[in-house]
Structure 1
């Protein structure tokens, strides 16, 4: 069925969950046909809908979710979404005279379940990454500052010279911790793309992530080479932003680089992003590689929108991360 094929293409392109669910409702309404189609989540709330509201929906959806079975009432079909460890929601369709065929509705329910499951998996990964970032950077920095403050307090009267050195170390460590925290905030706020555009967002990544400790200035070896703003879809734009953020973060944390350059160029069909550093280098995609999970995440993000990601590096030879993406993800029409 062309509608199901188009929905799967939308999933492969990495479209946001609610965008996929809206498309599920719209396409199911046209294909069945139906007067209204709604996605009801596991809590019984209408998440997205197409068409007029349906009365007495909560009780009907609850019956379908509780029993994990199709429920028909009047001209309404209620089909549970297939899930692991529970029903993630139900798809409800109201026919104009009779209930839409449940078997046809089940195909759309399966796509909706995939979209919700994908969204939950991505959210879990982001939470796990945030927890690791907080533990590895901010928590450790605060612990070090606490120890340094205790040392300074003990020395302040008997050994003022070393006490001043300890306070200087605390100041430098706090500045580095602030830079780490800025990086985590930027990771959580891709809305910097909205309005400003990708080129401006890339400049903000550099400004936010890589202040030199104690100076508030971007290190002189960090540079941007940007062509005119590429005309890309919102999905591709966010993918480029996330890849650049990960690559720059790896360069800052692991590479020990003095020169880092971000290049962005595009045309009507594709866009190319490069992050190049002159750091220590490594063997990409091998066990124990610095930022190995991040490298895999970048590659997955590129592939989700139909692009490719290459990482070229060797010990002592620096690193090049190159993402080549279509200007817009390929989605089947119909």
Structure 2
């Protein structure tokens, strides 16, 4: 009985709408948590650091301990800032998609100590909030994978408009992987990227091979 059943168009549309609502809820939660980390915890840590900077214990040993505590608080503040930024970067709402993706790319390349080619002028074009957020998350996931697994010497992040579609391209010259094999632990995010793009009428394409680097293409419609 069940084997012969097919999923109708209405069912598919319902599932897609439910998936879109789930993503919207997740993004709202990310935004709330990001604000709490930045505004509440971040401000408290900043106040503690200021107090520690101004305290002098009067002995060399205690002064050294206070100095170490200050360094630890500063490091924790930086981690809180990074966590808040990764959850929901302020630039995405304040400065826009282009600046946010540029920040992702330049930050990764600075951490890896490699060259970075960036051409994202096309991301200045008007995009719906949903598509802009989708492209940001694709760039974030793809660049995170590069940093964790690729071991590249160069990364390129570009965006171009072809007809009525936007293409975001993330390319590296690193280790690559077997694109025909079952996804391993390091590549499970690819399925999520593909599903997320499909919800906005987009498409994900991967070109890769062992030792030949990886190129990720994310295509989304500009209208509709």
Which TM-score band applies after superposition, normalised by the shorter structure?
0.5 to 0.7
- The structure with higher relative contact order (CA 8 Å, sep 6+) is 2
What is the TM-score when the length of structure 1 is the normalising length? 0.43
Measured in 2, the distance between the counterparts of 1:285 and 1:180 equals 37
Name the counterpart of 2:196.
301
Gaps in structure 2 of 5+ consecutive residues? 1-9, 31-74
Q: Deviations over 1:45-69 (max 9, x none)?
A: xxxxxxxxxxxxxxxxxxxxxxxxx
Q: Deviations over 1:231-270 (max 9, x none)?
A: 2111111111000011111111100001000011126721
Contact 1:13-1:305 within 8 A present in 2 as well = no
Gaps in structure 1 of 5+ consecutive residues? 18-117, 128-174, 214-218
Name the counterpart of 2:184.
289
Residue from 110, 116, 134 that aligns with 1:222 = 116
Aligned alpha-carbon RMSD (Å) = 3.6
Displacement after TM superposition at 1:325 (Å): 0.5
Partner SS state of residue 219, structure 2:
strand
Q: Deviations over 1:151-179 (max 9, x none)?
A: xxxxxxxxxxxxxxxxxxxxxxxx9x999
Name the counterpart of 1:324.
219
Q: Deviations over 1:91-144 (max 9, x none)?
A: xxxxxxxxxxxxxxxxxxxxxxxxxxx359x74xx99xxxxxxxxxxxxxxxxx
Contact 2:159-2:166 within 8 A present in 1 as well = yes
Contact 2:159-2:169 within 8 A present in 1 as well = yes
Q: Compared with structure 1, are the counterparts of its residues 261 and 193 closer, same or farther at alpha carbon in structure 2 (3 Å cutoff)?
A: same
Displacement after TM superposition at 1:12 (Å): 4.0
Is the aligned partner of 1:262 residue 2:192? no
Displacement after TM superposition at 1:230 (Å): 2.3
Q: Compared with structure 1, are the counterparts of its residues 317 and 179 closer, same or farther at alpha carbon in structure 2 (3 Å cutoff)?
A: farther
Question: How many aligned residue pairs are there?
Answer: 169
Measured in 1, the distance between the counterparts of 2:173 and 2:81 equals 24
Partner SS state of residue 179, structure 2:
coil
Is the aligned partner of 1:245 residue 2:143? no
Q: Compared with structure 1, are the counterparts of its residues 245 and 206 closer, same or farther at alpha carbon in structure 2 (3 Å cutoff)?
A: same
Partner SS state of residue 95, structure 2:
coil
Q: Compared with structure 1, are the counterparts of its residues 209 and 316 closer, same or farther at alpha carbon in structure 2 (3 Å cutoff)?
A: closer
Measured in 2, the distance between the counterparts of 1:180 and 1:296 equals 28
Partner SS state of residue 194, structure 1:
helix
Larger radius of gyration: 1
What is the TM-score when the length of structure 2 is the normalising length? 0.62
Name the counterpart of 1:141.
none
Measured in 2, the distance between the counterparts of 1:232 and 1:309 equals 18
More helix by share: 2
Contact 1:309-1:324 within 8 A present in 2 as well = yes
Name the counterpart of 2:69.
none
Is the aligned partner of 1:206 residue 2:105? yes
Contact 1:231-1:268 within 8 A present in 2 as well = no
Name the counterpart of 1:187.
86
